[in-house]
Chain A
Amino acid sequence: MSMAQHAEPAVTTPPAPGRKETDGRTSRRSPALRVLARPEVGVFLGAVAVFVFFLVTAPPVRDGSSMANVLYQSSTIGIMALPVALLMIGGEFDLSAGVAVIASALTASMLSYQLTMNVWVGVVVALIVSLGIGAFNGWMLVRTGLPSFLVTLGTFLILQGVNLAVTKLVTGNVATDDISDMDGFGRARKVFASSFDVGGVQVKITVVWWLVFAAIATWVLLRTKYGNWIFAVGGNKESARAVGVPVTFTKISLFMLVGFGAWFVGMHQLFTFNTVQSGEGVGQELIYIAAAVIGGCLLTGGYGSAIGPVFGAFMFGMVQQGIVYAGWNPDWFKAFLGVMLLGAVLINLWVQRTATRR
């Protein structure tokens, strides 16, 4: 068919082609405000505020190695906050993310130790187990249609119990045995838990991984088909399905991404501390979710970024360590933490409001 016929209705269309400012509702927004409306700008300003605050009030923070310490703490939260944020943009929660980290570390540790195998065997099997847990979460979700809150709460409880029971069953204790003298440990530690020198400051490799993962996640989210699908399944699942987005695949793979993150952080913990306490990890899932939300991801899905949670995790790490660096009365620690986070979130909110009010 020819273009001429196609163009025909345009000529006679009542809203005449041309600059009609009243069309739509968002036509007049200055470029500056449009930048402010980005999901990560508010948290960026919040993070800067927290950073400057502690720079002023806590002298030890000015030291390079202190910064490395803050970044390390942020990275262990941040690596998990990334997939959790993507999942949240995709419209789902994962309450099992905290204990899944420990489940992965336990798997690798016990498998290698009990079968006396090279630790890399444990690392690979742990990856498969972690991806499997994620796939199970996703599969249950799409199969049952239950809210992810319920499905992953179930997995959270199951994993908590399994972590403990299996560890007890296999090792006779509630913590795993030390694997630091086994084959492959040194190399695995290099990958997951080493540090390197930057101008006399020891920087943890997790910081590098964190930023690399954040860059990849940002690229995937904004520049690939898959990223488009993540926004779509979180924004309007039914519409996404109707226009041909593979909703099931997207959801399940997002849960598997969380599994991947859990595996990575789990491996870091294993190769840093040599052993794993089976009861750990409980409550961490909320910190990951908090970092994602502070990072500008909408709790209801469909909106957010990958770079926002990076600042969210940084803010969390900065506040947590900053209070110690400042030497404040530790009895008030949790209260300070809460106030600082709330303050940062309010800055974030204020920026968002200012930006969208035009």
Chain B
Amino acid sequence: MDSSSPSRSRRIAPVVAMAAAVALTLAGCSSSSGGKKSEEGAGEASAGKATTPRMTVALVTHQSPGDTFWDIVRKGAEAAAAKDNVKLIYSADPNAGNQANLVQNAIDQKVDGIAVTLAKPDALKDVISKAKAANIPVVGLNSGVSEWKNLGLLQFFGQDETVAGEALGNRLNSEGAKKVACVIQEQGNIGLTQRCDGVKKTFSGTTETLYVNGTDMPSVKSTITAKLKQDSAIDHIVTLGAPYALTAVQSVAEAGSKAKIATFDLNKNLTGAISQGTIQFAVDQQPYLQGYLAIDSLWLYENNGNYMGGGEQPVLTGPAFVDKSNVDAVAAYAAKGTR
């Protein structure tokens, strides 16, 4: 007797929902501020298109799903591909073994070039030599600045994570920081650990590492708050990703701390926070540029035999500091999701 009514109401529910949504819209339930309407008007930059023969390039990264950073890399790659008449095949897997399989997959597809990130170089060694054996040019990007030459890649575009960390450490010295908490959102990630290690190297004060659970924002927030409570001497927080910096702003307020926040990487909301002064500065490694240059370089190599960096030196895309003085120039691009 009780089972019939819920099933009927379940059937009705979607209809009611649709009707309600429509009714609410008609009833002027629209927001007078913010939203898509205020965003519209920002046009897309478009360049001409190369007339060179169509070629196929695979971009294989170690992106974990839903990471803002990689989204920007991919946009750069797509922009270059569109301009250079390149068909881009994007694939990614955070597991090194799976990433190697994806590279093998690209080789099997007989692509004209491969761009790959070297988060775990050893795992990719074999498959990269297979690509070379198949006469497919391979370039590196993002991670692997110290290994790309050993693996025989043509060129490399990225930021030396340790160098970036060192630069941030120096910057903290000049800001007069005494004690820093470096927030790592994924325990065991080499790139993230290198960033904190770099900070530790050049920073003259004390550096403490703090691990947080990156997939659960409320937990990130509580943990940073707890750290600030536990150690009130902390005067700067360094986060390794833009969303975590924005969360740290809330933690600082909650803990009643005076700590300032610096971060690696950018996004749209972060530029706003920098211009308001709630976040001091960001170290940008220009992910868009990494993606763009990786594809563009393969196109140049294919069509003109060029090497960027002369084939000897990596092309460093960072560290570029974004602070109150230059944030306005960057903000518009960050809003489009390309910086």
| Chain A interface residues toward B at CB < 8 A | 58, 60, 63, 65-66, 69-70, 72-73, 76, 98, 112-121, 124-125, 128, 131-132, 135, 160, 163-164, 167-168, 172-175, 177-184, 202, 246, 248-249, 252-253, 268-269, 272-275, 277-284, 287, 317, 320-321, 324-327, 330-331, 333-334
Contact = CB atoms under 8 A, between A and B. Distances in A.
Interface string B236-249: 00000001001100
Contacts, number: 193
B3 A249 contact: yes
27 contacts: A65-B255, A70-B226, A73-B222, A76-B216, A113-B35, A116-B35, A117-B30, A118-B30, A121-B21, A125-B17, A132-B14, A160-B65, A164-B66, A172-B337, A174-B67, A181-B33, A272-B217, A272-B250, A275-B269, A279-B215, A317-B222, A321-B226, A324-B226, A324-B230, A327-B231, A330-B210, A331-B211
B13 A131 contact: yes
B313 interface: no
A63 B219 CA distance: 19
B317 to A, nearest CB: 20
B229 A63 contact: yes
A271 B269 CA distance: 15
Contact of A182 (B1, B17, B35, B337): B35
A317 B219 CA distance: 9
Given A69-B226, A115-B25, A334 B187 contact: yes
Nearest to B272: A178
A174 B32 contact: no
B3 A246 contact: yes
Contact of B39 (A60, A168, A177): A177
B68 interface: yes
Nearest to A138: B10
Contact of A73 (B219, B256, B269, B272): B219
A173 B68 contact: yes
A182 B66 contact: no
Contacts of B162: none
A117 B24 contact: yes
A120 B209 CA distance: 40
Contacts of A183: 30-33
Contacts of B222: 69-70, 72-73, 317, 320-321
A114 B30 CA distance: 11
Give chain B's interface secondary structure class: helix
Contacts of A69: 222, 225-226, 229, 254-255
B37 interface: yes
A256 B215 CA distance: 24
Given A121-B21, A128-B13, A279-B65, A325 B230 contact: yes
Give chain A's interface secondary structure class: helix
Given A202-B254, A272-B218, A124 B35 contact: no
Contacts of A280: 66, 214-217
A58 B231 CA distance: 11
Interface string B30-67: 11111111110000000000000000000000001111
Most buried by A among B39, B218, B246: B218
B71 interface: yes
Contacts of A326: 230
A319 B21 CA distance: 43
B216 A174 contact: no
B6 interface: yes
A269 B225 contact: no
B17 A128 contact: yes
A184 B34 CA distance: 11
A328 to B, nearest CB: 10
A320 B226 CA distance: 10
Most buried by A among B219, B246, B247: B219
Given A63-B229, A202-B254, A330 B31 contact: no
A121 B243 CA distance: 26
B108 interface: no
B91 interface: no
Given A69-B229, A76-B218, A124-B20, A163 B30 contact: no
Contacts of A135: 10
B215 A283 contact: yes
A335 to B, nearest CB: 11
A179 B35 contact: yes
A327 B230 contact: yes
B194 interface: no
B267 interface: yes
Contacts of A274: 269
B24 A121 contact: yes
Contacts of A272: 217-218, 221, 250
A234 B243 CA distance: 41
B2 A249 contact: yes
A284 to B, nearest CB: 6
A320 B223 contact: yes
Contacts of B7: 249
Contacts of B211: 330-331, 333-334
A125 to B, nearest CB: 6
B329 interface: no
A63 B187 CA distance: 28
A353 to B, nearest CB: 32
A65 B187 contact: no
A76 B34 CA distance: 28
A113 B34 contact: yes
**9 A-B pairs closest in CB distance:** A279-B66, A116-B35, A73-B222, A181-B34, A182-B34, A183-B31, A76-B218, A246-B3, A324-B226
B36 A113 contact: yes
A163 B66 contact: yes
Given A73-B219, A269-B218, A283-B215, A112 B35 contact: yes
B258 interface: no
Nearest to B222: A73
A2 B46 CA distance: 93
B29 A331 contact: no
Nearest to A98: B215
Nearest to B33: A181
Contacts of B130: none
